[in-house]
Amino acid sequence: MSQIEFRPGLADVPVAESAVSFVDGQRARLEYRGIAVETLARESCFEETSWLLLKGELPTQRQLAEFDDQLRHHRRIKYKLKDLIRCLPETGHPMDALQAAVAAMGMFYPSRDVANPQSNWDAVIRLIAKLPTVVAAFHRIRHGDEPINPRDDLAHAANFYWMLFEQVPSPAVTRVLDACLILHAEHTMNASTFSGRVTGSTLADPFTVISAAVGTLTGPLHGGANEEVLDMLDEIGSPENAADWLKNAVETKRKIMGFGHRVYKVKDPRATVLQDFAERVFVETTPPVAYQIALDLEKAAKVMLGPKGIYPNVDFFSGIVYQALGIPRDLFTPIFAVARVAGWLSHWLEQIKHNRIFRPEQIYVGKHDVPYIPLEKRP
């Protein structure tokens, strides 16, 4: 056993064969089922992209219409689930509320027979359809407001916005939010997807799989980074401070949030698309100071961190876009989950098709043959 090479963080260790998405970190290329993510962000909608990820091909008009219809039909959540959300502390993080609600949701829709394709598909529809409702319900309830019922006449992204703010978003805002959902829907073998696949490999039900993935997404090295980017931009305060702040941060070995990636050694293609969308949002308004700071920070980082292959990742600009849309900071990661659920479920379906339980190896570095000393004789 001791000959096995230990790779911290499983870096470069394949853990599955997958046809869901592809990333080339040198060429800044990300494809969902072979289609470039930039094309999907421009041409597709979240519903169509979800189908593509789940089924492997773009839907026909009829398939998309039926899928969309099913999603709209399953957006509502049970009264008892709303009651459960009401019982959660309003000061708690929405990601924790989401994880708890998804785990509880599985109790309403028993789906333990993962060999049953119909029950699996029903769970897929419910999870994609209901995650936005849960996030919006917790957000409303924590501010003492009643949750807003979903509207069947609105598409996925617009309905999510409606349930958050009781306001129908403009076509421009809808487009940006939809593109953000597409850009976050999938990203090969990241930590939360791996977590979902590990849980799925035990043949646990899909609600348990997604609640595990939501929990893993929470951390600041993964989905939680988008929130911390804005805290960091606030700390920098103004564009002229960016270069000095960065110099100091690098010297004191601080992590720059929204920068760096295990796979990308160039600028994350999703960051480029998001920046483009951000600029379109800011055409009609004055660009927020956070965006000006981000631009100066990126410029300084190109010199200081670029040679090490550290460039902006998707989270660098997503928070700035969400803030411009009026979305509160602690909802950034839940929005990531609302999108990524499509990728998680695609990987789960792939995992259970050719399943073998994950049971990796460890390299034991502890002691052997330690004598047991009775309590009264211990020093």
314 belongs to the binding site for ligand CMC (CB under 6 A): yes
Please say if 369 is a catalytic residue: no
Strands 21-24 and 35-36: unpaired
Rule CB under 6 A: which of 9-28 touch ligand CMC? 9
Q: Contact with ligand CMC (CB under 6 A): which of 258, 269, 319, 334?
A: 258
Amino acid at 278: A
Rounded Cα distance, 344 and 188, in Å: 10
Based on the shown chain and the rule CB under 6 A, indicate whether residue 157 belongs to the binding site for ligand CMC: no
222 scored as a contact of ligand CMC (CB under 6 A)? yes
Q: Residues 155, 122: contact at Cβ < 8 Å? A: no
Measured distance CA(71)–CA(114) in Å, rounded: 21
List Cα–Cα distances, 232 to 121, 227, 249, 272, 297, in angstroms: 41, 9, 11, 20, 11
Name the segment binding ligand CMC (CB under 6 A); options: 65-73, 77-85, 220-228, 235-243: 220-228
User: What is d(CA 163, CA 141) in angstroms, rounded to the nearest whole number?
Assistant: 12
- Residue of the chain from 29, 76, 112, 262 that contacts ligand CMC (CB under 6 A): 262
Kindly indicate which of the ranges 62-70, 102-110, 249-257, 319-327 contains the residues binding ligand CMC, using the contact rule CB under 6 A.
249-257
Q: Total binding residues for ligand CMC by CB under 6 A?
A: 19
Cβ density class 42-58: b for 16+ within 10 Å, e for less: eebbbbbbbbbbbeeee
Catalytic residue check, 261: yes
Query: Does 247 participate in binding ligand CMC (rule CB under 6 A)?
Result: no
For ligand CMC, which residue of 31, 178, 315, 350 counts as binding (CB under 6 A)? 315
Could you give the CA distance from residue 184 to residue 326 in angstroms, rounded to a whole number? 19
Q: Report how far residue 92's alpha carbon sits from residue 227's, in angstroms, rounded to the nearest whole number.
A: 15
Compute the least distance from the CB of residue 322 to ligand CMC, in Å.
14
Containing 267, the helix (H) or strand (E) segment is none
Site string for ligand CMC, 182-211 (x = CB under 6 A): --------x---------------------
The Cα–Cα gap between 322 and 308 comes to 29
Candidates 74, 156, 184, 261; catalytic one: 261
Q: Is 310 in the site for ligand CMC (CB under 6 A)?
A: yes
Q: Does 260 bind ligand CMC (CB under 6 A)?
A: yes
Q: If residue 339 lies in a helix (H) or strand (E), which one and from where to where?
A: helix 332-353
* Interface stretch with ligand CMC, choices 42-50, 88-96, 257-265, 292-300 (CB under 6 A): 257-265
Question: Is residue 347 close enough to count as binding ligand CMC by CB under 6 A?
Answer: no
Q: Which residue stretch of 14-22, 134-142, 215-223, 369-377 sits at the interface with ligand CMC (rule: CB under 6 A)? A: 215-223
For helices 117-142 and 79-86, give the axis angle rounded to 10 degrees: 40
When asked if residue 261 is in the footprint of ligand CMC (CB under 6 A), the reply is yes
Q: Which residues form the interface with ligand CMC (CB under 6 A)?
A: 9, 190, 221-223, 225, 255-262, 308, 310, 313-315
Residues with a catalytic annotation lie at 261, 315
